[in-house]
Structure 1
Amino acid sequence: MTTTWEKKLTYFAVDTGTTNTTVWLMKDDRILRESKHPVGVRQTSIRGDRELLESTLRGTLRSLSRRAPSPPRFVLAAGMLTSQLGLLEVPHVLAPAGVGKLAENVRMKSFARVSPLPFFLVPGVRIGRAPCELSEVAYSDVIRGEETEIVGFQANAQPRTHGAPWLLLHVGSHSKAIEVDARGRIVRSASTLSGEALYVLRTQTILASRLRDLRSQELQKSFFESGVRCSERYGLSRALFMTRLLEGNSRYGQRELYSFLLGSLLASDLQAFRSLGFLAPRRIRIVLSGQPNLQLAWRLMLKKDYDVKVVSPEVRALAFLAGLREIVFASSAYRQFQAGIAGIRD
C-alpha cells in the first residue's frame, strides 16, 4: 500500500519515546530541520504530570515554525505520545494489524497547551486481550512507535521486507522483538525493560561509583561475552553482582565493567525471545534498529545464527516518517480534515 497525498505540505512529525522526543519540520517527504530532546514519558511517570513534555513540545514547535518556508498545517505523531503518559491515550489496535487497521484508528486532536495545530495520532498495537490476565501475561505485549517504523520499512522496501515473514528487533529503553507476517501485518511481539534497567543499575545502585558517568559505550568484546555466559549459567541477578566483584580489580576499567553488565542484561532478553519462539533456529530475516551501541551488542549475540540487517538511526528515522505518512494520510481523520479545509476555501 502506497498512500498519495496533497503535495507542497509543510508540517511537523513527532516521535516521543520513553526517554527522548524528536520533532521534525517536514516539506512533503523531505526533512527541513530536526530537534531532539532528552524528554520522554519516563519524566511524566516520575513527576506525575505532563508539564515538562508539553513545554518541550510547545517550545520546539514554536522555534521550528519560525524557520518554516510556509506555515505548518498539522502535526503527525506516533510512539508514547499516544499513551496514557503522553498527550492523549489512543487505544491500541489488536494484532494482527497492518497499515489499514492502524489508519482506521488514527485520532485527530488539538492540544491548546502545546499548539493550535491539529495532531494526528497513530495508535499502537496490542498482543492479547486487555486487561491482561495472569494466565496470559507471558504471551501478551504492547508496542507504540515500532508499528509506524514497520509500515515505513515496508513502504520504502528498504531493507527487504516484502513477501516473507520477518522480525523487527528494536533496542533502546525497551528491547522489542516484533514478528511481521508475509502480508505485512504485526502478528505478535515481546518487550523487555532492559534499557531502563541498564540505566538504573548504572546510576542508582552500588555500581554507580564506577558506571554513572560513562565516558564511552564502546564494548570490550571478551567482557561482554563473559557477561552473557555468566548470566546464562548463573542467572541474571548473580551476574549483575559479578560486575560489583570485578570492580575490585584495578586492571578493569569502565569499558570492561560496562560490557560485562550489558552482556548480563541482554542474555536475559535473548533467553526470553528464544523461549517465546521469536528466535527459533530458522532462517528468518531480522531487521535490527535502535541505539547504535545496543545494536552492536545484539549483533554480536546473533550474527552466528541469524540473518541480521543493521539499520542506521538515519534509515530508521526515514522509515518512521514514511510510516507516519502512510498511516495518517490513508485515515478517515485526515480525509475529514482535508474536506474541512476545502470547505473553508470554497
Structure 2
Amino acid sequence: MYIATIDTGTTNTRIKVWHDGTVCGQAAAAVGVRDTVLTGSRVKLEQGVRACLEAALAEAGISREKLGLVLASGMITANVGLCEVPHVPAPAGVREVARGMVSAVIPEVLDGPIWFVPGVKNAVGKVSLETCEEMDMMRGEEVETIGIMAQLGLTGPALVALPGSHSKYISIDETGRITGCLTTLAGELLDVITHHTLLADALGGAFADAINPAMLRQGAAYARAVGLSRLCFTTRILHLFTDLSRNDKANFLLGAVLAADLVALRGSRAIKIGPEIPVWVAGKPELRQALTLLFGDDPHFRGRVCEVDDAVLQNAAGVGAIAVARARGLV
C-alpha cells in the first residue's frame, strides 16, 4: 500500500509517500496555517498542500489513484487548518489518538478521503487564571513523539524535548502514553531578540553556528542570576567592551533562553516529571546539542540525556502517523 503523510505546521508543509515502510517520494512547501490567518481564506493552504502532494507523488513515480491512504497531522487539524479535529485529552497513547482520528474529503486538495490525526491536550477542567499554567496542547508533536519512540524502541517513562520556534517538552509514562506537554516560545524569542532588537548589531543578525560550551554555560548562569532581560543588555555590553566573537555572544544568549526553559520544567504544573526521568532531545543540531548540554549540567535532572539522530526526527511525523493509523485499523 502506498501511504501519503502530510505534516503541516504554522509556516511549512512536508509530505512523504511511503511504501512498505520506506519513503519513496517527498516534497516540502512554504505554506502553512499562517497563510489562512493572514489572508482570511483557506485557498492558499489548499493550493499549497495540493501542489506539494503532487510533487511528492511525482518523485515517487505514482499517480493519486495508487494512494491507498492519506494521513494528515499538525496544525492542519486546527481551526485555521483544513479540518478542525478536537484535541484528545492526556493521558493518550497510540490507541487514544487513533480513536480521535477524523476522515474528511477536501476536494480542493484530493478527491478521496484524508484521515486527520488529532493533537493532544493536557487534562485540565475549566481553564482560569488559577489553572491556566496547567494547560498546554500540541498538534503534530504527538505523532513526532510516537514516531521517535517507535524508531528507537522506547516505552517510558521519558521526557521528549523538541526545541524549536515553539519548544515542546512531552512527558511519557511507563506504558508509552503521553501524559502532558509544556510549550515555550524559546525559538521565536531567540529570533526576535537576534533580529529585531538592539542586539542585532552585537549578533550580526545570526544565531550560534557552533556550540561553545563555556559561553553557553555562562549565559545560562547569568540568566538564572539576573534574569533574561538584563542578560540581553549584558550581551550588548560584551559587544562594546570585549573582543568576544559573534558566535560567542550568540552562545551566551542561547544559553540564557534555553535555561529559561529548564526553569519552566522545574516549576511548571503543566507536566509532572521526576528527577530520574530519561531525557531524549531532538531538534536542529545546534539547539539539540545546546539543550542536551544544559540538561546534563542541571542537578535537578539526574536521568540519562540522549540526543535523537537527525534521521530519526526527519521520519518521525510520518512513522508516528502511520502507527496511529495502524491502531485505527487503516493499515
Match of 1:32 among 24, 34, 55: 24
Quick check: 2:17–2:56 contact (8 Å CA) kept in 1? yes
Residue type at the aligned position of 2:78:
S
Match of 1:23 among 15, 19, 28: 15
Structure 1 residues 176 and 103: alpha-carbon distance in aligned structure 2, compared to 1, 3 A threshold: same
- Identity level (%): 33
Residue type at the aligned position of 1:310:
E
Residue type at the aligned position of 1:30:
T
Structure 1 residue 295 displacement after superposition? 0.5
Quick check: 1:76–1:120 contact (8 Å CA) kept in 2? yes
Which residue does the alignment assign to 1:144? 139
- Structure 1 unaligned residues grouped into runs of 5+: 1-8, 336-346
Quick check: 2:97–2:117 contact (8 Å CA) kept in 1? yes
SS of 1:232's partner is: helix
Which residue does the alignment assign to 2:317? 320
Match of 2:212 among 197, 220, 228: 220
Between 229-238 and 209-218, the greater mean CA deviation after superposition: 209-218
Structure 1 residues 65 and 280: alpha-carbon distance in aligned structure 2, compared to 1, 3 A threshold: closer
Residue type at the aligned position of 2:325:
V
Taking the aligned partners of 1:212 and 1:49, their CA distance within structure 2 comes to 37
Question: Does residue 1:283 correspond to 2:280, yes or no?
Answer: no
Between 78-87 and 241-250, the greater mean CA deviation after superposition: 241-250
Which residue does the alignment assign to 1:247? 239
Residue type at the aligned position of 1:102:
V
Match of 1:53 among 42, 45, 51: 45
Count of residues in Structure 1 that have an aligned counterpart in Structure 2: 323
Which residue does the alignment assign to 1:296? 289
Match of 2:303 among 306, 314, 320: 306
Which residue does the alignment assign to 1:341? none
Match of 2:83 among 74, 82, 88: 88
Quick check: 2:215–2:248 contact (8 Å CA) kept in 1? yes
- TM-score w.r.t. structure 2 length? 0.88
Structure 1 residues 287 and 154: alpha-carbon distance in aligned structure 2, compared to 1, 3 A threshold: same
Equivalence map 1:1-346=2 (5 Å):
9-72=1-64, 73=67, 74-129=69-124, 132-156=127-151, 158=152, 160-162=153-155, 164-211=156-203, 213-214=205-206, 217-249=209-241, 251-276=243-268, 282-304=275-297, 305-331=302-328, 334=330
Residue type at the aligned position of 2:130:
S
Quick check: 2:202–2:235 contact (8 Å CA) kept in 1? no
Which residue does the alignment assign to 1:338? none
Quick check: 1:61–1:115 contact (8 Å CA) kept in 2? no
Residue type at the aligned position of 1:127:
N
Taking the aligned partners of 2:245 and 2:304, their CA distance within structure 1 comes to 33
Structure 1 residues 189 and 147: alpha-carbon distance in aligned structure 2, compared to 1, 3 A threshold: same
Taking the aligned partners of 2:86 and 2:311, their CA distance within structure 1 comes to 29
- Structure 2 unaligned residues grouped into runs of 5+: none
Taking the aligned partners of 1:40 and 1:245, their CA distance within structure 2 comes to 39
Taking the aligned partners of 2:203 and 2:38, their CA distance within structure 1 comes to 22
Quick check: 1:10–1:71 contact (8 Å CA) kept in 2? no
Taking the aligned partners of 2:186 and 2:52, their CA distance within structure 1 comes to 30
SS of 2:327's partner is: coil
Structure 1 residue 268 displacement after superposition? 0.8
Structure 1 residue 301 displacement after superposition? 0.3
Structure 1 residues 19 and 297: alpha-carbon distance in aligned structure 2, compared to 1, 3 A threshold: farther
Taking the aligned partners of 2:145 and 2:211, their CA distance within structure 1 comes to 28
Taking the aligned partners of 1:196 and 1:48, their CA distance within structure 2 comes to 23
Structure 1 residue 42 displacement after superposition? 4.1
Quick check: 1:18–1:173 contact (8 Å CA) kept in 2? no
Residue type at the aligned position of 2:326:
F
- TM-score w.r.t. structure 1 length? 0.84
Structure 1 residue 212 displacement after superposition? 6.1
Structure 1 residue 275 displacement after superposition? 1.2
Which residue does the alignment assign to 1:339? none
